[in-house]
Amino acid sequence: MKLKITAIGEILFDVYPTQKKLGGAPFNFFYHVWKLTNDGKFISRIGNDNEGKEIIEFLEKQQFDTNYIQIDDSVNTGVVNVQLDENKIPAFEIIENRAYDFIEHRPELDELIEKSDLLYFGTLAQRNETSRNTIRTLIEKSKKVFCDINIRQNFYTKEIIHKSLQASSAVKLNADELALINDLLIGNDYELKKTAYEIIDKYNLDLLCVTLGSGGSYLFNRKEESFHKTEVNNIVDTVGAGDAYAAIMSLGYLLNWEIEKTNKLASEFAAEICTIKGAVPTEDNIYNNFIEKIKNE
């Protein structure tokens, strides 16, 4: 797969009661894409602190390109406190005023985006004006744009969601976020499928995914829809499942797969991520299996 995908946004540590794991939706997405395609670039910003040094050490050990990760001498690396309920569903406390809020626009980012097939971004990294302006500038130069709506705490506004949808060609969100967008931007009676098509029409989207957690996922294009549900045995936690889905969805989008194939493989990959601790695997077995699946489908 010769695809050039770039992600921009937060890289941070998910801090559990007994350990911490590297995370952040854009980083999780990028990590999966890089492992599945052996390509991809990541734009972010970390602090010049122990956590930031730990991130760079990890990425360099994995032979990732760290040229687009900015170092901030005055603001710390991102942190999220995570608590899991009895169903392994996470609750997040996202710490404010972190390095990824201050991603600077630089000329080399324009050059990178011009060479990219797709730019991925989310809503959380837009909570601060600096990163938000950088993301919007790069979106204007992008061939295709994938937005992962991540409504967290109060870190969103109607304008941020509207402009994100307006700029996007493919979008992933969950059913709660779909209902919120209906209230904020559509204003009609909510019904999942009807509202999904209303958003596709209003924002001229090529592809829209609505995830339902353990209930499965819907994938819509302008003319048809797909529903898929993958049973998950031995759930460890669901952190990063949506990011895993988004990674496969982006590949299917760029490779023009049928939406049934995209939804099935994305759902299966997300289910696998639910069987590990944290959002990204420490071993490559899951990736190797899915590289084979993608080839054989």
Domain boundaries, the chain: 5-296
Exposed (0-12), middle (13-18) or buried (19+): which is 243, by Cβ within 10 Å?
A: buried
Give CA–CA dist 184/157, Å, rounded: 9
From 232, 138, 75, select the one nearest 245 (Cα to Cα): 232
Topology (CATH) of 5-296 = UDP-N-acetylmuramoyl-L-alanine:D-glutamate ligase (3.40.1190)
Q: What is the pLDDT of residues 89-98, one digit of tens each?
A: 778 889 999 9
List the strands of the sheet with 90-94, edge to edge: 20-23, 12-15, 78-84, 90-94
Q: What is the pLDDT of residues 126-144, one digit of tens each?
A: 999 999 999 999 999 999 9
Distant-in-sequence, close-in-space partners of 77: CB < 8 Å, separation ≥ 6: 11, 12, 13, 46, 47, 49, 51, 52, 55, 98, 99
Q: Which DSSP helix (H) or strand (E) runs through 174?
A: strand 170-174
Q: What is the pLDDT of residues 78-124, one digit of tens each?
A: 998 888 888 777 788 899 999 999 999 999 999 999 999 999 999 99
State the pLDDT at residue 296.
Answer: 72
Exposed (0-12), middle (13-18) or buried (19+): which is 115, by Cβ within 10 Å?
A: exposed
The answer, yes or no, to whether residue 201 has pLDDT greater than 80, is yes
State the pLDDT at residue 212.
Answer: 95
Q: What percent of the chain has pLDDT over 90?
A: 78
Q: What is the pLDDT of residues 142-173, one digit of tens each?
A: 999 999 999 988 899 999 999 999 999 999 99
Q: What is the pLDDT of residues 216-249, one digit of tens each?
A: 999 999 999 999 999 888 888 787 899 999 999 9
Higher pLDDT, 291 or 132: 132
User: What would the DSSP string read from start to end of 125-167?
Assistant: GGSSHHHHHHHHHHHTT-SSEEEE----TT---HHHHHHHHHH
Q: Which two tokens stand for residue 118?
A: 């797709």
Give CA–CA dist 125/29, Å, rounded: 14
Q: What is the β-pairing status of strands 5-8 and 41-47?
A: parallel
